[in-house]
A and B are shown apart, each in its own frame.
Chain A
Amino acid sequence: MPLVKAGHIVEDRYVRVLDDAPIPDGVPVIVPGKRFMADAAVLVQRDGPIGVLWPNDRKVAELEPWLDQLALVALVFPKFRDGRAYSQARLLRERYGFRCELRATGEVLRDQFQFLVRAGFDSFEVKKAADALVFAAAAARYSVFYQPSADGRVPALRRRLQGAPDVRAREAV
């Protein structure tokens, strides 16, 4: 499953450590949320970047005390129709100020890319190779946005009030 960052397919540096496996030193790892929370104070002291795989039915507020020591948070889309992680992503970015890697995992498909980017994700475990190849184009399908979100784009209403030159030029219908 290709990993996309900054619009390009890249190698995944992180090792995913399942529930009971020993955690290797010196390499970036992603551990499940439950395991992380059970032993967070110790885990953040280990040698090497640590990330957490956070389930979509647990409040991200619980992660808040550890966010400045996490190199990565991975959120989950068990089905692409299950959009809980969009809310989690925005909360992490906008409310809790998380600035490191925010990764979308699970059923991550082409037609979600732009929503994911707007919600604050910046890395993507893309399910299909063909989708990963067209990431840049698919994530840029829309050039105008109506609502403020985690990507910091200026929404249409604000731009209208700022008198964007192209707005009033051709009114019709």
Chain B
Amino acid sequence: MYRYDDFDKTLVAERVAEFRDQVARRLSGELSEDEFKPLRLMNGVYLQLHAYMLRIAIPYGTLSSAQLRALAHVARRYDRGYGHFTTRQNIQFHWIKLEELPDAMADLAGVGMHGMQTSGNCVRNITTDQWAGVAPDDIEDPRIFAELIRQHVTLHPEFSFMPRKFKIAVGASSHDRAALRIHDLALRLFRNGAGEIGFEVMVGGGLGRTPFLAKTIKPFLEKRDVLSYVEAVLRVYNQFGRRDNIYKARIKILVHEIGAEAFAQEVEAEWQAIKDGPLALDPAAITEIAGRFRYPAYARLDDSPPQLGEARRADRAFDAWMGNSVANHRVPGYAIVTLSLKPEGGTPGDATAAQMQAIADLADRYSDGEVRVGHEQNLVLPHVAQHDLHPLWRALEAIGVATPNVGLVSDIISCPGLDYCSLANARSIPVAQEITRRFRNLDLQRDLGRLHINISGCINACGHHHVGHIGILGVEKNGEEFYQITLGGKADADAKLGTLIGPAVPYAQVADVVEDIAAAYIELRERPDELFIDTVKRTGVEPFKERVYAAR
């Protein structure tokens, strides 16, 4: 956990005061909706189909139990008893009243939370691996740098009115769990040939109507230079990014139009002018921020305690969950536990106030009071002693967040779609729900193995459909909902955009098509352990396409 000090808390309190004033001016008519819009957007407030939506930042997906309780409180008091965790590791509430927004924000400010920069044309919430600092393969905790960058870009006087939003991710592992290459700017900590740890810098990734994977513009950047380099990238983008067309305003278009090499040269020239200025990080500055991350006082424990083995042998359901939702921890005797927010028939990423409250209590009891949010819209308890896994599982089962489907076909990433969003062309949630019903048999899911479905209700791609193993994109044709299907996308270290298999299919047929694709995979795979994504890579989309369209 990062501990907020008086600087952080003062700033959040001042932000609430400012927003209260802005809402008052809007309610009095002093501000027009047009003038109010960018102000509310900079506080994470959207106007959706039915109501205002409030998006709260969860920096790099790390939450304290106190913060999760505050979110439960907001869900109960100001919303309809639930919240929705997003692919940016944030949470949003869909039914907030404008008049109550400042109060909700004040309640959240009490635990250091806010909606700053969760929308608008500024730097958005910095994301990272939800296993940061606990995964065995992390070379360092990337959240230290995510926090340094978060502070640097918060209310940045130069970069609060950029051409378009700007998303940054930081990773520190050879296994990319933060979808780095689909970000405007991504930083990957690694050790170079000389044994030094620094960053690979990638720019120009993004999905939406013109998807691009980010390109490496700086193969190795020293840690001391991370803020100055980010500043240089933002400054080049702020001045030269397109502002004539909202659909061409993201940095990916600038990088594409002038070329990654020319863009890198612009950044390099700007960076050379500022790298030895006040943004150069001395080791003391990094140590200062690193020292404000609190880690548990881990006990000295052995891996695989005997009671765990006994429980697994005695309880088949527990054993299945262990095999699916529990990952290795860097500290012996501990484990990383993923809580599935994808129950059969549920809305992906939704959690009720009661669930949030219960998870906060369980985090206190079993995970040093810490919870993580992953971009796959699940939650994580990052510090669980292995001997606690069985009782923890019982408690998670009781609140419905222990479905052993993590990474499987029903662990669907989905945007809110036309049920909430004013931009959407088609529904996403009911499509996801129907697919989870079709694949309710967990043995079938396990047989299918790792298979990521991503659903977006419009071309803006909030559900990251381009990088789903199966991507589903809602479009509108003559007033009806149709869905384009892509195969073979992935967001890992070897990221790839999916390939469209053919004409869009109507709403009622989407789940059938997914079943056809799954059946085709089972026939096509060379061995039971050839993953879906590897089969698609080997065969191409053609045999799947034949299967899907033969009968249609």
Residues of chain A at the chain B interface (Cβ within 8 Å) = 80-84, 86-88, 90, 95, 109, 111-112, 114-119, 130, 141-150, 155-161, 166-173
B45 CB → nearest A CB, Å: 14
Tell me the residues in window 131-172 of chain B with beta carbons closer than 8 Å to chain A beta carbons.
148, 151-162
Q: Chain B residues near A142: list those with CB within 8 A.
A: 11, 14-15, 18, 155
Kindly specify which of B181-189, B235-243, B319-327, B437-445 makes contact with the partner chain.
B235-243
Contact, CB under 8 Å: B161 / A130: no
Task: Report the separation of the CA atoms of residues A156 and B278 in the bound assembly, to the nearest whole angstrom.
Answer: 13
Task: Report the separation of the CA atoms of residues A80 and B38 in the bound assembly, to the nearest whole angstrom.
Answer: 9
B25 CB → nearest A CB, Å: 9
Q: Chain B residues near A161: list those with CB within 8 A.
A: 284-285, 288
Which are the 10 A-B pairs with shortest beta-carbon distances?
A83-B161, A118-B157, A156-B7, A146-B151, A115-B157, A148-B278, A86-B158, A173-B112, A119-B157, A144-B7
Looking at chain B's contact residues, is the secondary structure mostly helix, strand, loop, or mixed?
helix
Starting from the known contacts A83-B238, A111-B22, A149-B158, 13 additional A-B residue pairs (CB-CB under 8 Å) come to A90-B157, A90-B158, A95-B273, A141-B17, A143-B10, A144-B10, A146-B151, A147-B153, A147-B154, A148-B278, A170-B5, A171-B3, A172-B3
**Chain B residue with the shortest CB-CB distance to A77:** B161
B367: interface (CB < 8 Å): no
**Chain B residue with the shortest CB-CB distance to A118:** B157
* 15 A/B residue pairs, CB under 8 Å, sorted by A: A95-B273, A118-B157, A142-B11, A146-B152, A146-B155, A147-B152, A147-B154, A149-B157, A150-B157, A156-B151, A161-B285, A167-B6, A169-B6, A170-B5, A173-B111
Task: Report the separation of the CA atoms of residues A82 and B5 in the bound assembly, to the nearest whole angstrom.
Answer: 33
Task: Report the separation of the CA atoms of residues A20 and B431 in the bound assembly, to the nearest whole angstrom.
Answer: 63
Task: Report the separation of the CA atoms of residues A151 and B151 in the bound assembly, to the nearest whole angstrom.
Answer: 18
Contact, CB under 8 Å: B6 / A166: yes
Q: Chain B residues near A109: list those with CB within 8 A.
A: 35
Contact, CB under 8 Å: A81 / B10: no
| Chain B residues bordering chain A, tally (CB within 8 A) | 49
Contact, CB under 8 Å: B158 / A160: no
Contact, CB under 8 Å: A170 / B279: no
Q: Chain B residues near A84: list those with CB within 8 A.
A: 238-239, 243
Contact, CB under 8 Å: B5 / A167: yes
B529: interface (CB < 8 Å): no
Contact, CB under 8 Å: A87 / B238: yes
**Chain A residue with the shortest CB-CB distance to B161:** A83
Contact, CB under 8 Å: A160 / B160: no
**Chain B residue with the shortest CB-CB distance to A117:** B157
Task: Report the separation of the CA atoms of residues A109 and B35 in the bound assembly, to the nearest whole angstrom.
Answer: 9
Q: Chain B residues near A158: list those with CB within 8 A.
A: 278
B221: interface (CB < 8 Å): no
Q: Chain B residues near A168: list those with CB within 8 A.
A: 5
Q: Chain B residues near A149: list those with CB within 8 A.
A: 157-158
B4: interface (CB < 8 Å): yes
Task: Report the separation of the CA atoms of residues A169 and B449 in the bound assembly, to the nearest whole angstrom.
Answer: 51
B355: interface (CB < 8 Å): no
Q: Chain A residues near B112: list those with CB within 8 A.
A: 173
Q: Mask for B329-355, Cβ within 8 A of A = 1, else 0?
A: 000000000000000000000000000
Contact A172 to B11, CB < 8 A, known contacts A84-B239, A119-B158, A149-B157: no
B254: interface (CB < 8 Å): no
Contact, CB under 8 Å: B121 / A160: no
Task: Report the separation of the CA atoms of residues A115 and B159 in the bound assembly, to the nearest whole angstrom.
Answer: 9
A134 CB → nearest B CB, Å: 10
A79 CB → nearest B CB, Å: 9
Q: Chain A residues near B285: list those with CB within 8 A.
A: 157, 161
B30: interface (CB < 8 Å): yes
Contact, CB under 8 Å: B7 / A160: yes
**Chain A residue with the shortest CB-CB distance to B39:** A111
B130 CB → nearest A CB, Å: 20
Q: Chain B residues near A80: list those with CB within 8 A.
A: 38, 161
Contact A159 to B7, CB < 8 A, known contacts A142-B14, A147-B152, A173-B111: yes
B64: interface (CB < 8 Å): yes
Contact, CB under 8 Å: B157 / A86: yes
B67: interface (CB < 8 Å): yes
Q: Mask for B275-288, Cβ within 8 A of A = 1, else 0?
A: 00111000011001
B66: interface (CB < 8 Å): yes
Q: Chain B residues near A114: list those with CB within 8 A.
A: 157
**Chain B residue with the shortest CB-CB distance to A60:** B239
Task: Report the separation of the CA atoms of residues A112 and B160 in the bound assembly, to the nearest whole angstrom.
Answer: 9
**Chain A residue with the shortest CB-CB distance to B38:** A81
Contact, CB under 8 Å: A160 / B5: yes
Contact, CB under 8 Å: B161 / A173: no
Task: Report the separation of the CA atoms of residues A82 and B242 in the bound assembly, to the nearest whole angstrom.
Answer: 11
Contact, CB under 8 Å: A171 / B7: no
A140 CB → nearest B CB, Å: 10
